[in-house]
Amino acid sequence: MRRLVVLAALVGALAGCGAAEPGPRTVVPGAPGEPARVMDGAEAAQRRAPVPVSPADVEFVAAMVPHHEQALALAALAPGRAADPGVLAMAERIAAVQGPEVAVLRAWLDRHASGHPGHPAHAAMPGMVAPERLAELAAASGPAFDRLFVATMITHHEGALAMAAQVRASGTDLFVAGFADDVVATQSADIDRLRGLPPGGLPQ
């Protein structure tokens, strides 16, 4: 439920990012010994204007779209292959969370990055799974699939955490910063759950 509320807030933020009304006048305290001054609504609105979106923000969001899409592709392999109910439940959780997020990310790109150069190369994104590993997962079933899925998804999530940490250090957009923080919270929790699945350890 909390996830749905957060996602709804993010969508609302995207929809409500139009120009703000100038608003009322604001009293600005002066320095010690100096009088206060009154700032008119237009000046106050200008001072409240958001910091422009940075290239780091655009790069992060553009990269997270295919990163999430690959997580969804991995999760889609679990039904019919997973033996452990916990693995299947994790796949369902990942699909339920990251599917709606892709739409939010695309909406942000449409608003802030039209004409952006496209998604980064997959190999340049941390945690992206090689085609050979995807084929191995598709061919596996039962406990072998479970162990391979868990190891692969942990690596994939760790890549997302690295990307989120990078944009938090270099980005400027408040929406992107909030989304990155949410990625860290959600996918860190996922990693903790994945490390407990399935019994019998992980593949090397």
**Separation between Cα atoms, residue 91 and residue 149, nearest integer Å:** 9
Residue 200's pLDDT is: 45
Residue 185 contacts residue 161 (beta carbons within 8 Å): no
Q: DSSP labels for 61-127?
A: HHHHHHHHHHHHHHHHTSTTT--SHHHHHHHHHHHHHHHHHHHHHHHHHHHH-TT---PPPGGGSTT
**Separation between Cα atoms, residue 123 and residue 105, nearest integer Å:** 20
pLDDT tier at 120 (50, 70, 90 boundaries)?
A: low
Lowest-pLDDT range, 42-46, 64-68, 104-108? Answer: 42-46
pLDDT tier at 192 (50, 70, 90 boundaries)?
A: very high
pLDDT tier at 53 (50, 70, 90 boundaries)?
A: confident
Of 92 and 124, the one with more pLDDT? 92
Cβ burial of 7 (10 Å; 0-12, 13-18, 19+) is: middle
Mean pLDDT of 194-198: 86
Q: How many CB atoms lie within 10 A of CB 144?
A: 15
Residue 52's pLDDT is: 77
Q: Check whether 127 has a pLDDT greater than 70.
A: yes
Residue 48's pLDDT is: 52
Residue 203's pLDDT is: 45
Structure tokens at 183: 């990625």
Mean pLDDT of 35-41: 65
**Separation between Cα atoms, residue 108 and residue 63, nearest integer Å:** 13
Of 108 and 31, the one with more pLDDT? 108
Mean pLDDT of 176-188: 96
**Separation between Cα atoms, residue 52 and residue 49, nearest integer Å:** 9
Q: pLDDT for 54-82, tens place per residue?
A: 999 999 999 999 999 999 999 999 999 99
Mean pLDDT of 148-153: 96
Residue 133 contacts residue 151 (beta carbons within 8 Å): no
Structure tokens at 130: 């090689």
Residue 42's SS3 state is: helix
Q: pLDDT for 1-28, tens place per residue?
A: 445 444 545 555 554 444 444 556 655 5
